[in-house]
Amino acid sequence: MSMSTLPPDALLQQLQWRYATKQFDPSQTIPEAIWDALEKSLMLTPSSFGLQPWKFFVVYNPDLRQQLLEYSFGQTQVVDASHLVVLAIKTAVGADEVDHYMQRTAEVRQVEIESLTGFANVIKNFLAHPHNPEFDRDDWAARQVYIALGQLMTSAAVLGVDTCPMEGIIPAKYDEVLGLTDTGYQTVLACPVGYRHADDKYAHLPKVRFKQEDIVAHIP
């Protein structure tokens, strides 16, 4: 049964409105209710097996954000945006993380954990004995993080909130500043979230995309 509450045109309008914001208005703060919804959108992000090999660090401390500016190649979004989200992977995901996930599944779905043994073994086998010999667990986890990034940016756009996905950072230095080194979590990228500055010229530039027929192929 469909639960769509947003007309198709409205969705496309917000996606057209969205852009990688270059200049945030530091005087504008995201209201608490809207931010809570955005955090929950991260929590609801789909992932391979549902394993959620990530953690999202919301950096409020202005001194830390100022330190991160140096390791963001001077991109002022990290200090000017209302919120700064650092998206990190859980490194070396293995059997312990699978067991933790099974415990949570049993709790949420109110089933005996023994009933999940088969599913747990499938995931553990995938991680320990991948079909692809070039499979790397951390690379796999990083790909999951990008799904979360897309979910965050789309959710923000629907709510009229601006974002800027940032790979242009030095992840190891982010880890140092945020105290993540040797914690089992590792920075992948950052995403400032807030409201665009009136002077950001990029907000008014036409969005450049290839034509739909050039990038979408229908295979009957």
Nearest to 166 by CA among 64, 84, 50, 80: 84
The answer on pLDDT for 3 being more than 90 is no
pLDDT (0 to 100) of residue 1? 65
Mean pLDDT of 25-50: 98
Cβ burial, residue 193 (10 Å; 0-12/13-18/19+): buried
Q: Which helix (H) or strand (E) holds 214?
A: helix 212-215
pLDDT at 5: 84
Q: Which helix (H) or strand (E) holds 145?
A: helix 137-158
Q: Average pLDDT, stretch 58-75?
A: 98
Return the ∠ at Cα 150 (arms to 145 and 154), rounded to 5°: 150
Over the stretch 72-121, which tens digit does the pLDDT of each residue have?
999 999 999 999 999 999 999 999 999 999 999 999 999 999 999 999 99
Instruction: Render pLDDT for 122-163 as a digit per residue (tens, 0 to 9).
Output: 999 999 999 898 999 999 999 999 999 999 999 999 999 999
Q: Structure pTM?
A: 0.96
Q: Is 170 exposed, middle or buried (0-12, 13-18, 19+ CB in 10 A)?
A: middle
Task: Determine the pLDDT at residue 59.
Answer: 98
User: Each residue of 158-213: pLDDT tens digit?
Assistant: 999 999 999 999 999 999 999 999 999 999 999 999 999 999 999 999 999 999 99
Taking CA atoms, 220 is separated from 134, 213, 214, 217, in Å, by 33, 15, 17, 10
- Find out whether 154 and 45 touch, Cβ atoms under 8 Å: no
Q: Are 174 and 183 in contact (CB under 8 A)?
A: no
pLDDT above 80 (res 53): yes
Mean pLDDT on 54-76: 98
Q: What is the mean pLDDT of the chain?
A: 97
Tokens of 119: 């599913």
Give the count of alpha carbons within 13 A of 116, CB side only: 20
